[in-house]
Amino acid sequence: MAETKFTPRVFSGIQPSGGLTLGNYLGAIKRFVDMQGPEFETIYCMVDLHAITVWQDPAALTRNTRELCAGFIAAGIDPEQSILFNQSQVPEHAQLGWIFNCVARMGWMQRMTQWKDKAGKNQQNASLGLFAYPSLMAADILIYHATHVPVGEDQKQHLELTRDIAIKFNNDFGVDFFPITEPVIEGAATRVMSLRDGTKKMSKSDPSDMSRINMTDDADAIALKIRKARTDPDPLPDTLEGLEDRPEARNLVNIYAALADISPEQVIAEHAGQQFGTFKPSLADLAVAKLSPISTEMARLMDDPAEIDRILARGAARAREIAAPILRQTYEIAGMVGAVSA
Ligand code: AMP
Ligand code: TRP
């Protein structure tokens, strides 16, 4: 497919399921900010319809959606330059999601590791929405003909499925309509690990709060968590290869690199031979310097929820201008009466 047919457009989403972590920031939001600019049109979404695939308390969902919006803006997403909104205000996502439910195959969904992890042993009791989750995600992306999707490493499989859905739709209907989206999984922190166990992903659902840095943590909490982070007794090596069997050490080096906007090689070059007693305070200072202004700004924005709601409503209206014609053309391709434009 000729890539040039499609406007360079970035789409990504985060679930408003509560508690942004350093993993979300470095793996996703910070990179969303970096992609704003003349090269791309950028669309960022709070995916509330995805969040409810597992139970969400309604009042908490409202609060978490606003908090996530505040987090995006505090981290540097400009709601004028980017389109920023919550998914349920743009019904075209769910409408295209239904079409994709009829394109995607049961077998494809059953292979999704996130489904297997989240449904656990009791798949019979998981929601139908949780099973269909990746098909709605494909709709989020393709309803904008998005060409690039920045995400953390854990979303790679879902993006491959998005490509499979686009390819099957195009083949089934003999069209060249949906782009084959590029995943953008780049940088030092595509998979930020737990501070307590370097083999586990940092996650808002980990029972130990010491395992993660929350975007709302204050300076003391950030410094404490980094000081207490699990490490090994050796000093930092002088090459990256020296970190190979040291997941905790490697994680801290990657976090440092991502926060400082330098490569892990540069971190090693600057800190080789240091003990963690020296490296951790440098990392804590850096983390506080980068994250504190964001959490302060988030709190300030949260004081005016009406303004956040206005931003989301305006973003949704702008999003619909792109989504509505693409849905109509999709319906037309599928043969739905009434879809042809007047
Ligand atoms: P979620 O909070 O699951 O909706 O994730 C939102 C975004 O953050 C996705 O792009 C994830 O890949 C990314 N993300 C979540 N946790 C991590 C992590 N520990 N390291 C890197 N990226 C992450
Ligand atoms: N599944 C993503 C996550 O849990 C969130 C998401 C939903 C998303 N729709 C998306 C990410 C579209 C990128 C593009 O992190």
Query: Pairing between strand 182-184 and 148-150?
Result: parallel
pTM of the entire predicted model:
0.95
Instruction: Give the mean model confidence (pLDDT) for residues 209-220.
Output: 96
pLDDT at 340 (0 to 100): 72
Res 342 pLDDT > 60? no
192 belongs to an annotated ligand binding site: yes
* pLDDT value for 4: 61
Burial of 129 (0-12, 13-18, 19+ CB in 10 A): middle
Percent of the residues in the chain that have a pLDDT greater than 90, as a whole number: 97
228 is catalytic: no
Cβ contact 148:40 at 8 Å: yes
How much is the pLDDT for 339?
Answer: 85
Cα-based torsion angle of the residue sequence 200, 72, 100, 10 in order, rounded to the nearest 10 degrees: -100
CB of 23 within 6 A of ligand 1: the answer is yes
Mean per-residue pLDDT of the chain:
96
Catalytic residue, from 5, 116, 156, 204: name it. Answer: 204
What is the CA(185)–ligand 2 centre distance, in A? 13
The predicted structure's pLDDT at residue 1: 46
Based on the residue annotation, tell me whether 201 is a catalytic residue of this protein. Answer: yes
Q: Which ligand is nearest to the CA of 28?
A: 1
Q: Which two tokens stand for residue 305?
A: 């929820």
Mean pLDDT along residues 262-282: 97
pLDDT at 341: 58
Rounded mean pLDDT, 52-64 = 98
Dist. CA 113 → ligand 1 center (Å): 15
| Amino acid type, 128 | L
Q: What is the mean pLDDT of residues 72-97?
A: 98
Structural domains in the chain, sorted by start: 9-190+304-334 (3.40.50.620), 209-300 (1.10.240.10)
pLDDT digits (tens, 9 = 90+) for 133-184: 999 999 999 999 999 999 999 999 999 999 999 999 999 999 999 999 999 9
Structure-token pair, residue 176: 């060249």
Q: What is the reported pLDDT for 97? A: 98
Q: Is the CB of 146 under 6 A from ligand 1?
A: no
- Exposure letters 5-23 (e unless 16+ CB within 10 A, then b): ebeebbbbbbbbbbbbbbb
What pLDDT is stored for residue 326 in this prediction?
98
Mutation to probe ligand 1, out of 34, 113, 154 (largest number of atoms < 8 A from CB): 154
Residue 3 has pLDDT above 80, yes or no: no
Bridge partner residues of 114 (DSSP)? none
| 152 annotated binding-site participant | yes
109-122 per-position pLDDT tens digit: 999 999 999 999 99
Strands 148-150, 83-86: parallel, antiparallel or unpaired by DSSP? unpaired
Residue nearest to atom 6 of ligand 1 (CA): 14
Q: Model confidence over 226-257: pLDDT tens digits?
A: 999 999 999 999 999 999 999 999 999 999 99
Strand partners, 10: 42, 148
Rounded distance, CA 318 to CA 305, Å? Answer: 20
CA-nearest residue, atom 18 of ligand 1: 23
Q: Which residue lies with its CA nearest to atom 5 of ligand 1?
A: 14
Distance CA 12, CA 34 (A): 13
The pLDDT tens digits for 19-52 are 899 999 999 999 999 999 999 999 999 999 999 9
Residue 204 annotated in active site: yes
**Residue 5's pLDDT band (boundaries 50, 70, 90)?**
confident
153 is an annotated ligand-binding site residue: yes
> Does ligand 2 lie within 6 Å of residue 64's CB atom?
no
Residue 273 among known ligand-binding residues: no
